[in-house]
Structure 1
Amino acid sequence: MSWRDRRPTHEVGTDPDYRFTLANERTFLAWFRTGLALLAGAIALASLVHDFGPRPMRMTIIVILLVLSLTVVVGAYVRWDRTERALRENRSLPRDPLPKLIVAGAAIVVIAAAVLVFLAESGL
């Protein structure tokens, strides 16, 4: 079934225990907050830290943060929808690549930030 042909989530299956639906919603909101925090980090780096390391490197980190932010926000909704449908249809919960993506992206940002700090401290 294609994305366009899918029925709205509330029309699929039967209502699960409301506690599971609310837990799924809280998880969605936690992922959404993470996406907003990544966005805030990108904006802070772009607007507040102009003389910290080489500009191309700062721009690379900003772009990575923005891409991660968009991935997490969109992924949060997709994850919520897939989980809600599985709950409503009494199926096993789907596997989700979002945690691996965010860890990989965050690791890249941390390494790049460490290089920026090193360059700034060494005066290069």
Structure 2
Amino acid sequence: MSVFDQLGAGRDAVRLWFAPDRVQEEGETPDYRFSLANERTFLAWIRTALALIGGGFAVDQFLTDHLTHWARVALSLALLAGGVACTLRAVNHWVRCERAMRRGANLPVSRFPAVLAALVAVIAVAMVALVLFGWAG
């Protein structure tokens, strides 16, 4: 598959985010419990994204006297980027799982949970270091 084919497939996948009726046209309707479980997983990812975004704003707004500007901005942007990634991953994973269930295929695998966990761990270690060493501006 060429790069242009991959870009076209990616564009079509993003279009499905906004056209759930097209997803329903594929395959057979799965047991509704599986679709509802998929939706609950989607909502859990959205809650995670909101927590990361809220944490990013909290670091930026409330740690002004405790961190240097660069440390506050770096931590805030890392948390905000994690939140953005979670929102995009949530809808993409929901569509991929729904399509797989309708087709009777294996559910898609993803490295995203491991990447997110590593990102949060790095941010947590950085925050521990900032607290221990008191890097104030």
The residue type equivalent to 2:9 in the other structure is S
CA RMSD of aligned residues (A): 1.9
Structure 2 SS opposite 1:93: coil
Provide the residue aligned with 2:10 in structure 1.
Answer: 3
User: Cα distance, 1:61 vs. partner?
Assistant: 0.7
* CA distance in 2: counterparts of 1:63 and 1:123, whole angstroms: 18
Moved over 2 A (4+): 3-8
User: Cα distance, 1:90 vs. partner?
Assistant: 0.3
Provide the residue aligned with 1:80 in structure 2.
Answer: 94
* CA distance in 2: counterparts of 1:123 and 1:74, whole angstroms: 34
TM-score (norm 2): 0.83
TM-score (norm 1): 0.91
Counting matched residue pairs gives 123
The residue type equivalent to 2:31 in the other structure is D
Quick one: percent identity of the two aligned structures? 37
User: Cα distance, 1:5 vs. partner?
Assistant: 4.3
- Structure 2: where are the runs of 5+ without partners? 1-7, 17-21
Contact conserved, 1:46 with 1:59, CA < 8 A, in 2? yes
- Structure 1: where are the runs of 5+ without partners? none
Provide the residue aligned with 1:100 in structure 2.
Answer: 114
User: Cα distance, 1:119 vs. partner?
Assistant: 2.2
Contact conserved, 2:52 with 2:83, CA < 8 A, in 1? yes
